[in-house]
Structure 1
């Protein structure tokens, strides 16, 4: 006897069967549509790397095969793509590691094959010793991987492919060199665009959570302030992306002749801003944490205190905008000093212990933003002290 699932009045089966399928499909389509813009942004961000990798692979093969007539030129395009696959900002280091790893693998593999021959246990011994030697030389994971992989190739292909050692090394050298030529001369990154793309999420995160904290102070909403603190602490992805982009900007301006002139301009200033922005994040975290305590303990909140925190948020947004446009961050600096002045007024009006810490962190974060904008630390501190005013009321 075939049983049919009972249906409720709205047409759904009680066991959650087929009647729910259209709703589930609708939700799935909604999620897919919502993620489409993010996927397209990722495609645009990775499109440049894809073109660089394709050009480097083709050019490396042409140089190794047609110009230098290297046997087994497959290693050249592989090396070019491996070097390009490194995080932007680390390609010079990855290329050097690639060559060092290949050299170690070739040296150990060739020496052991000569001494103990080939076979299963010999192959294992070659790989072990290649990795151990690369560690002794101070190599990182990339060097160890390249040394081990090259040792495998030498140990398995040398018996059937004569004189593989030097071509393998030369092909790796060609691939690494071609990857640098592509990134430095043929298709160089636009450093300002790269670092702006990475800095935007970090600076927006900081500004948004400062705004949330200011609103929480006005409403004495400790839970909202705690939420801002939790979100600001979860900043590893944004900070890592900013640090990597700063490395990429430095690398691009060092390698590419067309970018040399920007090393001391907006790109250089922007690249140097990664560390003080990270400090501003941490100091703002202390600010918001003390704001939570201030609210929970019922300390006085002068009207100018949340206003000062809001001004600090606006200064952060202005810094991002002026950085992106390649302008001097004058407006951001002016707004940051207004935040310090407001914090000074709040302090002289009267705050409790946690309130005084919030005031101090407005000063410290402002100093961080000044350093991020290219001002020396001593000058930033002097400007902050001047804007804060006297500690005692007039």
Structure 2
């Protein structure tokens, strides 16, 4: 599965390396342009995020490292302490210029090349700069000509997060029904492991924006990608609130608090609604369920999240209801509603609210 997900980036890297070598040798005339394929591979990598930034940092880092190295080595010669000095100066300059990790790494490694392989004053330093530029530009061209779909991977990541959220809520409901902490403990552990998935989603969205900008094949996908990007924050918030709900549900069971069965039903219904939302995210345009279907199911759950469910209940049950209402608001935003409209779907917490009710 991991190989399948990474197959296209691997093909892109392999093709970019070959093309960069061809351009540098046959078109530019460099006899051994080993930095061109290296630059192409590093600029692409297996991650889809920040590829344009990586390419820019790579080229600038190489230029900086070779420039500093050539200047210093020409004056003080080569040797152990000279190598240490050149690397320290090149990497310090990169950090001072507020570059990323690739910027500093390439500045340091390029300085090593100058201090050990490229004779001071030789044209090799300039050739390395040109090779790095060729590799970076070839990498960008490969992204534009053989791109990954800017929306597909992000949709799969969002659907995976929602699948986990649905499973967690169902396990919490099972534990509450059975008054058994074990399913809730499993749910909490699963919920806490979702942060890496959220981070991956944000990376895929960032990479998708780059692809949609530079690849003519996917210029029309920019509006869909922008809509999907709006779901990242409310989805993140929903997962965080689910963790709190699971933690308080565990306390509720362990403390043997009184719980209205209707509140447990709400948790289970929310689990089912999240699965509808997952299928909405994963489906192609024109397929069912659409955003309206997902929002309708969530509104049904919202209508039952009434304050009366915690009459005579303890603190943990109160927190569970509050988190349930917050999760509904977050997920309605994932379905396309504005926050104020999502809040309006919840039953009021007072008889005559003077303002739009908040979650609790």
Q: TM-score, with normalisation over the residues of structure 1?
A: 0.82
1:216 equivalenced with 2:178 (yes/no): no
Q: What is the distance in 2 between the residues matched to 1:96 and 1:372?
A: 34
Matching of residues 1-394 of structure 1 within 5 Å: 41-85=1-45, 87-159=47-119, 162-184=122-144, 186-265=145-224, 267-327=225-285, 328-344=290-306, 347=309, 351-383=313-345, 385=346, 388-389=347-348, 391=350
**Alignment partners' CA distance in 2, 1:286 and 1:346:** 21
Cα pair 1:130 1:147 within 8 Å, conserved: yes
1:254-285 deviation per Cα after TM superposition (whole angstroms, max 9, x unaligned): 222221212112x3222332222111111011
Q: CA–CA distance in 2 between the matches of 1:86 and 1:300?
A: 51
CA contact (8 A) 2:273 2:298 kept: yes
CA deviation after TM superposition for structure 1 residue 145, in Å: 0.9
Indicate how the Cα distance of structure 1 residues 373 and 169 shifts in structure 2: closer, same or farther if over 3 A, else same: farther
Q: Secondary structure at the match of 2:217?
A: helix
Distance 2:155 2:11 in 1: 21
After TM superposition, the structure 1 stretch with the greater mean CA deviation from structure 2, 232-241 or 143-152, is: 232-241
CA shift in 2, pair 1:314/1:248, >3 Å: farther
CA displacement 1:145-182 (0-9 Å, x = unmatched): 10011001111222289301221111111111111111
Shift in Å at residue 77 of structure 1? 0.9
Q: 1:161–1:47: structure 2 CA closer, same or farther, 3 Å change rule?
A: farther
Please tell me whether the aligned partners of residues 305 and 346 of structure 1 are also in contact (alpha carbons under 8 angstroms). Answer: no
**Counterparts of 1:262 and 1:355, CA distance in 2:** 44
SS of 1:191's equivalent? coil
Moved more, 103-112 or 189-198: 189-198
Deviation, 1:118, is 2.4
After TM superposition, the structure 1 stretch with the greater mean CA deviation from structure 2, 214-223 or 105-114, is: 214-223
- 1:166-204, Cα deviation, whole Å (9 max, x unpaired): 2111111111111111112x2111122211332233221
Alpha-carbon offset, residue 374 of structure 1: 3.1
Contact 2:9 2:46 in 1 (8 A): no
Distance verdict in 2 for CA 1:254–1:311, change over 3 Å = farther
1:246 and 1:160, CA in 2 relative to 1: closer, same or farther beyond 3 A?
same
**2:16 and 2:338 mapped to 1: Cα distance?**
41
Question: CA separation of 1:346/1:100 partners in 2, compared to 1, >3 Å: closer, same or farther?
Answer: farther
Q: Which has the larger radius of gyration?
A: 1
Measure the CA separation in 2 of the matches of 1:228 and 1:86: 31
1:264 aligned counterpart, secondary structure: helix
CA, structure 1 residues 50+192, in 2 after alignment: closer, same or farther (shift >3 Å)?
same
What is the count of residue pairs matched by the alignment?
Answer: 348
Q: Structure 1 CA distance, aligned partners of 2:29 and 2:342? A: 59
TM-score (norm 2): 0.90
Larger mean CA deviation between 60-69 and 294-303 belongs to 294-303
